Structure 1
Amino acid sequence: MKVRTFLIAAAAFIAPVAMIAPANADGGIFVEVGQPNIAVGGYDTVSYFQGSGEPVKGDTRYTVRYKETEWRFSSQANADAFKENPAAYAPQYGGHCAWAMSRGSLAPGDPQLYKVVDGKLYLNFNRNVQKTWLADIPGFIAKANLAWISVPDGKRFGA
């Protein structure tokens, strides 16, 4: 019963955010309100897949323009890797929250609340949402993949 109450409360909290998120998306890639047109809050998406798997902030010296958005990297090598295969490093669902997408909603993903699953990067909205998402990752991914199909092309990335 506690889980159901939490999910209802989380949905009530996320619903207003989900309605705002599309206005903050550019080409389907969620960008922070304070940093227009900067993907994944300025984090180096290649860094999620290297070494410790901890995200590293990108540097303005190593930027790539992709889908009308600026992507920042911590090194030229990471920028080059991204240029070679953006789909391998870009977060799923355009950087929106994976759990919210499983519910058919767009909500911002936090670049520090993430999980790499089967070589793909997934972001979550907050720690409580992530805790819920971690309880059934395969189930939520399956639901999110279906919901992502119905997101209008102008709000999608990597479709």
Structure 2
Amino acid sequence: MSTMKKLNTLLAVATFGASLSSFAADIDMNADANDVAIKGYDPVAYFTVAQPKKGSPRYSATYKNAIYHFVSEGNRNMFRDNPAAYAPQYGGFCAFGVSVEKKLDTDPTAWKIVDNKLYLNLNKDVQKRWLTDAPGYIDTANDVWRDIKNVAASEL
């Protein structure tokens, strides 16, 4: 099976799965049924230790009606001081998915910081494709996001 066919199959399966999952926070935020974003990973840790770290409900903050968990009080406070600097782009939806007009869930370990912004992808296979032209996909996704951010994932 060709790489593109595999990617299209993967996106089709992910789209189906995303339409079945619950995004309880604002329609433009990817969060679970309890409004927890990034599956509980600390968004600040991507910037401070350059790796995903699972946060704790003990240290939490809310941004755009989604709850973020942090590994420490210091990380939580950094986030509270400037949440837009640390929150993932596209409300935490898959950066590649947004570029193809889909709101897909993400794997917190499939991440990349580009120009001081955090981008997440569906999984590491999709991330490999996204990394082949991250600037181009970001430009496309930025345009697309304006049109889809207020549309439910199930409607895309």
Give the TM bin, normalised by the shorter chain: 0.7 to 0.9
8 Å CA contact retained: 1:48, 1:55: yes
Residue 56 of structure 1: how far off its partner (Å): 1.1
Looking at secondary structure, tell me which structure has more strand per residue.
Answer: 1
User: 1:75 corresponds to which residue?
Assistant: 72
Give SS of 1:150's match.
helix
Seen in structure 2, the aligned counterparts of structure 1 residues 50 and 17 have a Cα distance that, compared at 3 Å, is same
Seen in structure 2, the aligned counterparts of structure 1 residues 20 and 93 have a Cα distance that, compared at 3 Å, is farther
Q: How does 1:143-154 map to 2 (within 5 A)?
A: 143-153=140-150
With structure 1 as the length reference, what TM-score do the two structures score?
A: 0.85
User: 1:85 corresponds to which residue?
Assistant: 82
User: 1:14 corresponds to which residue?
Assistant: 14
Structure-2 separation of matches of 1:141 and 1:20: 26
Structure-1 separation of matches of 2:142 and 2:89: 9
Give SS of 2:148's match.
coil
User: 1:46 corresponds to which residue?
Assistant: 44
Equivalent of 2:97 in 95, 100, 103: 100
Residue 18 of structure 1: how far off its partner (Å): 4.2
8 Å CA contact retained: 2:23, 2:32: yes
- Per-residue CA deviations over 1:18-58 (Å, capped at 9, x if unaligned) read 4335x42411221235xx2111111110000013x011111
User: 2:30 corresponds to which residue?
Assistant: 30
For the aligned residues, what is the CA RMSD?
A: 2.1
Residue 140 of structure 1: how far off its partner (Å): 0.8
Residue 9 of structure 1: how far off its partner (Å): 2.1
Structure 2 gap segments, 5+ residues each: none
Structure 1 gap segments, 5+ residues each: none
With structure 2 as the length reference, what TM-score do the two structures score?
A: 0.87
User: 1:126 corresponds to which residue?
Assistant: 123
- Per-residue CA deviations over 1:96-139 (Å, capped at 9, x if unaligned) read 10111000000001111111111010111112211111111111
Structure-1 separation of matches of 2:41 and 2:118: 12
Structure 1: which 4+ aligned runs deviate by more than 6 Å?
none
8 Å CA contact retained: 1:93, 1:101: yes
Give SS of 1:56's match.
coil
